[in-house]
Amino acid sequence: DTAVSQTPKYLVTQMGNDKSIKCEQNLGHDTMYWYKQDSKKFLKIMFSYNNKELIINETVPNRFSPKSPDKAHLNLHINSLELGDSAVYFCASSQDPMSYGYTFGSGTRLTVV
Amino acid sequence: GQQLNQSPQSMFIQEGEDVSMNCTSSSIFNTWLWYKQDPGEGPVLLIALYKAGELTSNGRLTAQFGITRKDSFLNISASIPSDVGIYFCAGRGAGGTSYGKLTFGQGTILTVHP
């Protein structure tokens, strides 16, 4: 059983399209995250949800909209995709917002052409 | 915001050699963590450090939480080919702004030649 699963693993799409990435965790964790890893491998937090409530929103363009229907799921919807959105997006979860033990998904490689 | 400076950016070593990498911060951190990312996968936690001066080992890996709370290092002894990957330091700072947020270093890309 995969602890944190993301779909799809690869996503190639044209500029201007709208796309979604889904994430599910079966660890019973309360907190979930979206991180973006750019071409230089730098990991930067985008959003964090604790028990379905948004607790972190890090200066991300409002074209990015996270949604957490329940604490086991955190989806990321991106409107009007731009070339600069190309990156690997990682979902992660932790027991609570102060836990150090993040479990990451295997990532979604988004390529905007 | 909090920033971590990790060095070196990349390392090319021979199998059997020891490796050392470090991370520094401009502000005090309460927790230091070291993660490894294999190609095509997400980062996996290797070692967690909670107290200034703490030295912790995990097999061939040893990490230390600096006395000033502004730095940490990771050593890998007797490297093997499967040590290849990207190593990230991460930390959680003091204060409310760190709630729910780990800050990651830029990563060290390790290549091990057999």
The predicted pLDDT at position B84 comes to 97
Residues from chain A that touch B109, judged by Cβ atoms under 8 A, are 41
Q: Give B87-105 pLDDT, tens digit per residue.
A: 999 988 766 666 667 889 9
- Average pLDDT score over residue span B76-94: 93
Mutate which of A36, A95, A96, A102 to test chain B, going by most B C-beta atoms within 10 A? A102
Q: Which of B33, B43, B101 sits opposite A48 (nearest CB)?
A: B101
The predicted pLDDT at position A101 comes to 81
B11 pLDDT band (50/70/90 cuts)?
Answer: very high
The predicted pLDDT at position B95 comes to 61
Q: What share of chain A is helix, strand, coil (3-state, %, to 5)?
A: 5, 55, 40
Does the pLDDT value for residue A59 go beyond 80? no
| Contact at CB, A102 and B41, closer than 8 angstroms | no
Angle at B36 between CA B34 and CA B39, to 5 degrees: 160
- Average pLDDT score over residue span A20-28: 97
- Average pLDDT score over residue span B58-84: 96
- Give the whole-angstrom CA distance, residue A74 versus residue A66: 7
Cα distance from B40 to chain A (closest Cα, Å)?
7
CB atoms within 10 A of CB B28: 14
- Give the whole-angstrom CA distance, residue A28 versus residue B81: 35
- Average pLDDT score over residue span A37-58: 91
Q: Tell me which residues of chain A have a C-beta less than 8 Å from any C-beta of chain B.
A: 4, 31, 33, 35, 40-45, 48, 50, 55-56, 58, 90, 92, 97-98, 100-102, 104-107
- Three-state SS letters, chain B: CCCEEEECCEEEEECCCCEEEEEEECCCEEEEEEEEECCCCCCEEEEEECCCCCEEEECCEEEEECCCCCEEEEEECCCCHHHCEEEEEEEEECCHHHCCCCEECCCEEEEEEC
| Contact at CB, A102 and B109, closer than 8 angstroms | no
Place of tokens 């020891």: B18
Pairing of strands B29-37, B44-49: antiparallel
Greater model confidence, B99 or A31: A31
- Average pLDDT score over residue span A59-66: 91
Q: Give B20-34 pLDDT, tens digit per residue.
A: 999 999 888 889 999
The predicted pLDDT at position B94 comes to 65
The answer to whether A60 and A46 are in contact (CB under 8 A) is yes
CB atoms within 10 A of CB B54: 16
- Average pLDDT score over residue span A51-64: 90
Q: What's the gap between Cα A59 and its chain centre?
A: 15
Does the pLDDT value for residue B1 go beyond 60? no
A58 pLDDT band (50/70/90 cuts)?
Answer: confident
A100 pLDDT band (50/70/90 cuts)?
Answer: confident
